[in-house]
Amino acid sequence: MAVIPVPERLLHPMEFPRKLLMGPGPANAPPRVLAAGALPLLGHLHPEFVQIMDDCKSGIQYAFQTENPVTLAISGTGHAAMEAACCNLVEAGDVVLVLCAGIWGHRFADMVDRHDGVVKKLNKPAGETFSLSDIEQGLRAHNPKLLFVTHGESSSTTLQSLEGIGKLCHKFGCLVVVDSVAALGGVPLLQDAWELDVVYTGGQKVLSCPPGASPISFGPAAMKKVKSRKTKIRSFYLDINELANYWGCDGQPRRYHHTGPISNIYTLREALSILAEETLAKCWERHAKCAALLHDGLRQLGLELFVKNPECRLPTVTGIVVPPGVDWKKVADNAMAKYRVEISGGLGATAGKIWRVGLLGYNAEPENVKSVLSALKEGITLQKKSHL
């Protein structure tokens, strides 16, 4: 006899309020992507599903601008892709240089430590980025085997230039891992041309599909490091050798490794199809135009952008300085309660100091920019009136 009673909430339908998700992610998904998630399930090794996986692989290669054979989607969110990069490349005692200008560098450093790597950090205040000179000094000082860099630091809303980093690292015999979760698709990224050994992103950002399938690509030098490991990869689930076989990347018959997130792969395939139809160049341009429109509107409201250097501003996530005497959360709460518009606060070092507005994929449209500006203006005005 069952002892635990039936949960009362499960006897009622779920609630689905329509919200405009203008934070740093997830973004709203296009109707086509949502519809793809409702398609009938297939077996995870059925030939029809294998073809969908192959379509995703070619779409990721296009999005990353890479010919790497080992290109696939990790079954998990962006954190799983980050963990995959770490556990496959880091062995005990390996020195890893981590560029920290927000929480994502610190998060990767934590993972390196858990895999018994030796963490060396280069730190910058939130809102700043690293020069090639900064990086070269770190490479000379620490002689690392691996360097980690965040392309789009969503916590501090910075865009880190990647050009030259791969070539510089390779000069010092160092591999480079790029976290482009908050940037990929919204700004240029050329994995092969820029000599980036491992790149990963998340599905729920610019690609605008549900979180759960995260694109990643390992270049030849990274795979050479994996193949020459002295110790076994600690995670079976994230072992890139096993995943490469399951995704048909190694030229061998596919073996069962795990049950892929079938519906998530459907939605990723549809999101990559939408990107291919728009083209990368037009997608980059659309995000740049919407960011410029948002920045201009913020200036007209008398608000200050958090990142001072225009070249270092992340188009997909904008940081806005909270004015003195204004409660950021009350403004965000008013936007959600009255307009169902999500505006996020800061994260890590920026918590309580900024708002973060996302212009991600499907949401990067002028009308959505206008909605955010209106919600900010009203929320700030209400607080000023309440202080009179």
Do the Cβ atoms of 62 and 276 come closer than 8 Å?
yes
CB contact set of 227 (below 8 Å; sequence gap of 6+): 241
The span from the CA of 17 to the CA of 7, in Å, is 22
Ramachandran region, residue 233 (left: φ > 0; alpha: ψ -120 to 50; beta: rest): beta
Please choose, from the candidates 299, 351, 81, the residue with its C-alpha nearest in 3D space to the C-alpha of residue 204.
Answer: 81
Q: Please name the helix (run of DSSP H) or strand (run of DSSP E) that holds residue 83, with its range, or none.
A: helix 78-89
234 is in an annotated binding site: no
Please choose, from the candidates 351, 357, 275, the residue with its C-alpha nearest in 3D space to the C-alpha of residue 320.
Answer: 357
Give the tokens for residue 230. 């002295």
The span from the CA of 290 to the CA of 234, in Å, is 43
Please choose, from the candidates 155, 135, 132, the residue with its C-alpha nearest in 3D space to the C-alpha of residue 144.
Answer: 135
Beta-strand runs (E) in 201-246: 213-218
The span from the CA of 294 to the CA of 366, in Å, is 8
The span from the CA of 193 to the CA of 185, in Å, is 16
CB contact set of 144 (below 8 Å; sequence gap of 6+): 94, 95, 96, 97, 120, 138, 174
Strands 20-21 and 341-342, bridge-based pairing: parallel
CB contact set of 322 (below 8 Å; sequence gap of 6+): 328, 352, 353, 354, 355
The span from the CA of 17 to the CA of 69, in Å, is 41
Binding-site sequence positions: 356
Binding-site sequence positions for substrate: 356
